[in-house]
């Protein structure tokens, strides 16, 4: 019979350490190492998903040297999962071969991509409350996709339906506040639009850098396999 003193160290014993010590240890790891830690136990996942751990994830990118930074609306753990996570659809759990979609910040299979994206010209049909002055397409990230086996209309710019819904809801509320003459409403609307423009700039900048990194990383891994 195994004595308690002979047991392997557990996640509980690790998280019983002061957080600054835990973070110091984890700061020497790569993003993939941190993901494995998150998958080890709920307690470790809670620790690594907290806002206090963001510097650990940032350090992990530096440990790996060439990992690009993430954009302002994407968390460090989410970015690490997109770049290093398994090829599994985040929605249905089925295989999702190929690279993740960094513009839409999702790793999904082709079926879920088709079911959860919308073309720009279809936005008014699905969201009749959208007015021309909202200019929704200016504030929602998009990706040029070519969905194999789907109609031709799927082969252009696509928007994640949930992202469109979030922006539509927020803009509808803010425009209503402005029309109602609510104090500070115009400032709030302008601030929101400015924040979304920042997201769009980041999407182009960091999404392109991430795509380049993914292609290079895939090429390097294939080269190693062939050695």
The answer to whether 65 and 35 are in contact (CB under 8 A) is no
Q: List the single range of 2-6, 10-14, 29-33, 199-203 with lowest mean pLDDT.
A: 2-6
Indicate the average pLDDT of the chain: 84
* pLDDT for residue 155: 53
Determine contact, residues 158/117, Cβ cutoff 8 Å: yes
Residue 222 has pLDDT above 80, yes or no: no
Q: Residue 77's pLDDT is what?
A: 93
Question: pLDDT at residue 194 above 50?
Answer: yes
219: confidence class by pLDDT, cuts 50, 70, 90: confident
3-12, 40-49, 55-64, 155-164, range with the lowest pLDDT: 3-12
Query: pTM, whole model, 2 decimals?
Result: 0.78
Rounded distance between C-alpha atoms, residue 187 and residue 116, angstroms: 32
Tens-digit pLDDT profile for residues 84-122? 999 999 999 999 887 888 889 999 998 999 899 998 888
* Average confidence (pLDDT) over 13-34: 86
Distance CA 80, CA 34 (A): 9
List, in sequence order, the alpha helices (H) in the chain: 11-15, 19-26, 31-38, 42-49, 54-63, 76-84, 110-115, 123-126, 161-179, 185-226
pLDDT at 4 over 50: no
Mean pLDDT, rounded, for 191-198:
94
Over range 196-214, report the average pLDDT. 87
Provide the β-strand partners of residue 142: 159
The residue ranges of every structural domain in the chain are 66-226
Q: What is the pLDDT of residues 138-182, one digit of tens each?
A: 899 998 765 444 454 445 688 999 999 999 999 999 999 999 999
- Higher pLDDT pick, 8 / 111: 111
Q: What are phi and psi of 71, to 5 degrees?
A: -80, 170
Q: Is the pLDDT of residue 5 over 50?
A: no
The predicted structure's pLDDT at residue 36: 93
Reading the block at residue 32, the tokens are: 């993939």
Q: What is the per-residue pLDDT for 11?
A: 53
For the segment 35-43, the average pLDDT, to the nearest whole number, is 90
Q: How many CB atoms lie within 10 A of CB 104?
A: 24
- φ, ψ of residue 131 to 5 degrees: the values are -100, 160
The answer to whether 21 and 28 have CB atoms below 8 angstroms apart is no
Q: Is 93 within 8 Å of 76 (Cβ atoms)?
A: no
């Amino acid at each position: 019979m195994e004595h308690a003193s002979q047991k392997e160290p557990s996640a509980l014993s690790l998280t019983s350490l002061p957080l600054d010590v835990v973070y110091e240890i984890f700061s020497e790891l790569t993003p993939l190492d941190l993901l494995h830690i998150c998958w080890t136990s709920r307690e470790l996942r809670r620790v690594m998903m907290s806002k206090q751990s963001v510097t650990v994830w940032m350090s992990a990118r530096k440990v790996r040297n060439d990992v690009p930074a993430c954009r302002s609306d994407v968390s460090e753990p989410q970015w690490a999962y997109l770049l290093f996570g398994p090829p599994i659809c985040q929605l249905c759990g089925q295989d999702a071969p190929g690279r993740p979609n960094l513009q839409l910040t999702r790793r999904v299979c082709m079926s879920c991509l088709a079911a959860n994206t919308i073309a720009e010209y279809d936005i008014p049909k699905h969201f009749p409350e959208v007015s021309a002055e909202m200019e929704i397409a200016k504030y929602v990230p998009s990706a040029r996709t070519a969905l194999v086996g789907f109609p031709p209309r799927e082969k252009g710019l696509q928007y994640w339906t949930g992202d469109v819904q979030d922006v539509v809801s927020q803009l509808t509320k803010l425009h209503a506040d402005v029309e109602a003459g609510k104090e500070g409403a115009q400032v709030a609307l302008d601030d929101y639009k400015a924040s979304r423009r920042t997201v769009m700039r980041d999407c182009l900048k960091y999404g392109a850098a991430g795509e380049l990194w993914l292609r290079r990383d895939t090429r390097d891994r294939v080269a190693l396999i062939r050695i």
